[in-house]
Homo-oligomer: A and B are copies of this chain.
């Protein structure tokens, strides 16, 4: 039996496009000798379909497309494919997260997901009813082999592997083993985060070895809104040894001969900077494309954040599809304009320069009568930033190019950014990248490709340049310290007390915690960012705004 793992980049909501895409993948797999094909979790709907799942018409269209696909591949080997299945019962959530077996023109079996993640970015209990823990086991027989079917989270709850708190008290894999499964297949749409691939491989290896069963894992690839999927579908033998791995961040069809342990192993690069780069490029490319755009633009300040964002945009969209916009003010240093131009030249992107002095003066003039003798404060800095936001959006409107924002996670955490100003845009490319990691990625990029990011950009002190001689460190602790604090506060949910007990300065920690808290209103209106850490702002971060609390 040769099993093809169809690692496709699918489009959320586009059920007809997706089944056409899957049909083509099956045809390609058959050419490579596949006798069974496996696609990813919710492949027909694209993942994550979110509240589309609440629409009965959408569930109907998805099922109809599934049946159409069954018909189109009637003469080909069976396909196991993820689909949302309407819950026609009188009770429960509106759907099931299912894997349908398409065989000889029909939906010959349906297997339902049992463990429904409802944490971080996942809302599966909102949409799905779980398979009954004591219902019929999710197995089918193919070429004499009993195959156990799991869907994503179903395979992530082995009590012997996880020392951390688990969400569920059952382990579907154990049950499949008991039901006679000789091979475990997992259909996944498991989002990328830094370092997760190593955990995934280790976990799948452990599950295979524990049960003495081969495990085949098929994962979605590509970006959808804030989530990126790395692909890297895999196969493990009954001893837990990895013997197949598909490409990362690319579509792939991986044909696995389980009995012969034959397949290819694509290399996996676990260097953090490279992982982050690939995820950000994939996320940007797919978000822009799947929103119907082919071009992007961004403001180039001469700083490192916009430099990295521009490099990512060029890799994702092609240099000819990226426009850099320089928006110097009287507070911009000569170096900033030169550095931005040098960066653009290194990347081969066109630039436009629009000095903002005129609009700044016009705002000063109309506000002068209202503000008369009030001292300049952050108001005037925000006005500048919002003039830039307005100009960039005007360019975006006029040219049909998506505006990419350039703020990093450290800024967004503490609110060192202007809502409707530098936060304006369709996609916040590096919103989940801490400032210190921005530097690391840029260093890695320069080592890999030669000096893309000009040395001057790497070396100068970070500054918003919204008033004379301003630097970020007038307002913020050093970024090394800030990022360490933010990782504890934001990603690890640690209390100020615990952080101080770990040796950090109490006053600084409290100040940063307070800044994180009071910036919530800005984050609520931020564009989607590409998630690469365990805890990104966005769908997986749901803090109240009004109220009274510190972290």
A residues near B (Cβ < 8 Å) are 11-14, 17, 46, 48-52, 54-58, 90-94, 118-119, 123, 125-126, 165-169, 223-225, 286-287, 290-291, 352, 354-356, 358-359, 361-363, 365-367, 370-371, 374, 377-379, 382-383, 386-387, 389-391, 393-395, 397-398, 419-420, 424, 426, 493-498, 521, 524-528, 539, 541-549, 551
Contacts and interface: CB of A to CB of B under 8 A. Distances in A.
Contact of A58 (B50, B167, B549): B549
A366 B389 contact: no
Which of A391, A524, A526, A546: most chain B CB closer than 10 A? A546
Contacts of A90: 165-166
B544 A52 contact: yes
Contacts of A354: 366-367, 370
A494 B290 CA distance: 25
Contacts of A166: 90-91
B546 A290 contact: yes
B398 A379 contact: yes
B377 A386 contact: no
B378 A14 contact: no
B521 A426 contact: yes
A521 to B, nearest CB: 6
Contact of A125 (B56, B118, B383, B498): B118
Contacts of A543: 50-52
Q: Which 8 A-B pairs have the closest CB atoms?
A: A13-B549, A57-B495, A12-B547, A290-B546, A362-B362, A14-B548, A379-B397, A125-B125
A36 B337 CA distance: 71
Contact of A378 (B12, B119, B397): B397
A166 to B, nearest CB: 5
Contacts of A11: 547-548
A439 B515 CA distance: 41
Which of A14, A46, A119, A547: most chain B CB closer than 10 A? A547
Which of A55, A91, A398, A526: most chain B CB closer than 10 A? A398
A223 B547 CA distance: 10
Nearest to A518: B292
A19 to B, nearest CB: 13
A104 B363 CA distance: 64
B126 A55 contact: no
A382 B363 contact: no
A544 B13 CA distance: 9
Contacts of A290: 546-548
A63 B249 CA distance: 45
A61 to B, nearest CB: 9
B390 A420 contact: yes
A110 B359 CA distance: 62
Contacts of A54: 493
Contact of A541 (B51, B358, B426, B495): B51
Given A363-B359, A365-B358, A493-B56, A167 B546 contact: no
Nearest to A380: B394
A350 to B, nearest CB: 12
B420 A389 contact: yes
B379 A394 contact: yes
A11 B549 CA distance: 9
Contact of A525 (B14, B383, B397, B525): B525
Contact of A420 (B165, B363, B395, B424): B424
Contact of A398 (B58, B125, B374, B394): B374
Given A12-B548, A359-B362, A374-B398, 18 more contacts: A52-B543, A54-B493, A57-B495, A57-B497, A57-B551, A91-B166, A91-B169, A93-B167, A125-B126, A352-B370, A366-B391, A379-B394, A383-B390, A393-B419, A420-B424, A524-B527, A524-B528, A539-B542
